[in-house]
Amino acid sequence: MATVENFAPSGLCSDADFLRRVYLDLTGLPPSAEGVEKFLADKRDTRAKRAELVDALVGSERVHRSLGQQVGGLCCR
């Protein structure tokens, strides 16, 4: 059986991979083409721009709708 000690953390993913993953995880939808271009063109520190994106998504109506649908689906089975 695998244990935590047998696994090493993976390296930092690319900005493009992060953007796709965080949008799909939080909203259930891919980012817009404009959003991709803007995020990839941002030359700020990786941690800062990623944290800002997550904060913006968590506070967005799009995420609230997605989470509401998921929770509603669990409650109404």
pLDDT in tens, 7-62: 788 889 999 999 999 999 888 889 999 999 999 999 999 999 999 999 999 888 77
The answer to whether residue 68 is domain-embedded is yes
* Nearest one of 18, 26, 23 to 70, comparing CA atoms: 26
Q: Phi then psi for 11, rounded to 5 degrees?
A: -75, 175
Q: What is the pTM of this model?
A: 0.72
Distance CA 57, CA 46 (A): 17
pLDDT tens-digit map of 55-65? 999 888 777 67
The answer to whether residue 34 is domain-embedded is yes
The answer to whether residue 1 is domain-embedded is no
The answer to whether residue 40 is domain-embedded is yes
Number of independent structural domains in the chain: 1
The answer to whether residue 4 is domain-embedded is no
Q: Which domain holds residue 48?
A: 13-75
The answer to whether residue 51 is domain-embedded is yes
Distance CA 36, CA 34 (A): 5
Report CA 28 to chain centroid distance, whole Å: 9
